[in-house]
Amino acid sequence: KYIKRSEAETLRREAYLAEQKALQEKKQAKFAEKRKREEDAAEEARVRDEKRRKLEEETRRRREEQAAEEERRRRKRLGLPELVKEDSADDGAAADGEEDIADAELMTRLRELEQPATLFGENHRARLKRYRVLTTTVTSGPIPTTLQLVDEKDMRVSGTIPTDKEGRKLLFRQLASYFTMVLREWDKALSKEEKRDTFASKAAVNAMVQSRENMVPLFRKFEKDELDDDIIKPVVEIVQAAQERRYVDANDGYLRLSIGKAAWPIGVTMVGIHERSAREKLHNGERGHVMGDEVTRKYLQSIKRCLTFAQVRWPPEDVRQLMG
C-alpha cells in the first residue's frame, strides 16, 4: 500500500513526539523519585538530630542536677546555707540602666531611621540594643568615643573624685576631652614637619600612632565607668598638673602610679634569728605597681608620651617644671 509523503511525515512526527513525551515522563518520574528519596533522607536526618539534641539536653540536665545535688549535700555537711536558684531574666526586658521602649514604638523608630523593623530571630532586647547602637552619637577625633566632649575652657579638672554618677561622667568627659586635644595637636604638629622621610620623623609618627591606639581601652573604660579608683585619682592628678603646666609634678604622679609606694622585697626576705627591718611592710596589702596588666601598662605609657608632647606644645612659665 502506498501512502503520500505528507502522511508519512505526519506519522513520523507523531511517533517522534510520542517518544519525546515518554522520555520526558520517564525523566520527571526519576526526578520525582530522587526528590522523594532526598526528602526522606532529610527527614530522617532531622529526626536523628532532634533525638540527639534531646538526648544531649537530657544528659546535660541530669549532670547539672547531679552537680547541684552534690553541692547541696556538701553545703549541708559543712553547715553552709543553701544556694538560692535565681531565675533567668526575661529576654524581652531592657538591660539595667536603660529605658525600655514599647515594641511597636521601637519598630516605628527603626523605620524612621530607614532600618529593618525586625531581623530574623531577633527579640525585643536585641532590637532595643540595635536601636541604641544606631542612635548613639560617636564624636569625631583621634579616638572615636560616645562621650560628649567638652570645650577647652571646661576641661580643667579638680583634685577631688566625685562619688555621684553624673559627676564621674563629667570627669570622664573632661579627661577624654583633654587627651583628645593633646592627640589632635600632636597629629597637627607632626603633619607640619617638612622632612617626613627621616628616621626620627618616622619614629615620632609611629610613637603618636601607637599612643593613640593604646589609649583606646582607656576611652572605653571612660565610657563604661569601669576604671578603678586607685587609677582614677593618679590620672586626675597627672592631668590637673599638666593643665597647670606643672609637668614635673605630673611626672611624679606618673611615677607614683607606675612604680607605687609599696615596699619592694629586696634584701629583707631572708630572716635569721633577728627580724630584719622593714619586713612588716611586705604584706601590708599594698600593690607595688599597676603595671601587671598589659593593657594598663600601655595606656599609662601613652599618657606619659602625651605629657612629653604637652610640655613642648604648652611650655611652662617656670623652667624648673620641665621634665628631663
Picking from 90, 111, 114, the residue whose alpha carbon sits closest to that of residue 100 is: 90
Distance CA 240, CA 155 (A): 10
264-271 average pLDDT score: 52
Q: Which CATH superfamily is domain 137-321 in?
A: Functional domain of the splicing factor Prp18 (1.20.940.10)
Picking from 135, 108, 107, the residue whose alpha carbon sits closest to that of residue 119 is: 107
Where residue 212 falls (left for φ over 0; alpha for ψ -120 to 50; beta otherwise) is: alpha
Q: pLDDT tens digit string along 31-77?
A: 999 999 999 999 999 899 889 888 988 888 898 888 888 888 887 77
Confidence (pTM): 0.57
pLDDT(80) > 70: no
115-126 average pLDDT score: 87
What's residue 182's pLDDT? 92
Is residue 270 helix, strand or coil?
coil
What's residue 285's pLDDT? 47
pLDDT band of 265, cuts 50, 70, 90: low
pLDDT band of 87, cuts 50, 70, 90: very low
The share of the chain scoring above pLDDT 90, in percent, equals 27
pLDDT(154) > 80: yes
pLDDT(229) > 70: yes
Distance CA 239, CA 257 (A): 13
Is residue 139 helix, strand or coil?
strand
pLDDT(268) > 70: no
Highest mean pLDDT, choosing among 81-95, 243-257, 283-297: 243-257
12-31 average pLDDT score: 93
Q: pLDDT tens digit string along 278-304?
A: 555 544 545 545 566 788 889 999 999
Distance CA 215, CA 175 (A): 12
What's residue 160's pLDDT? 82
Q: What is the CA radius of gyration of the chain?
A: 36
Distance CA 173, CA 148 (A): 6
What's residue 14's pLDDT? 93
Distance CA 56, CA 240 (A): 59
pLDDT(85) > 60: no
Which range is least confidently modeled, 12-21, 69-78, 247-256? 69-78
What's residue 277's pLDDT? 55
pLDDT(199) > 90: no
How confident is the prediction for the chain on average, in pLDDT? 81
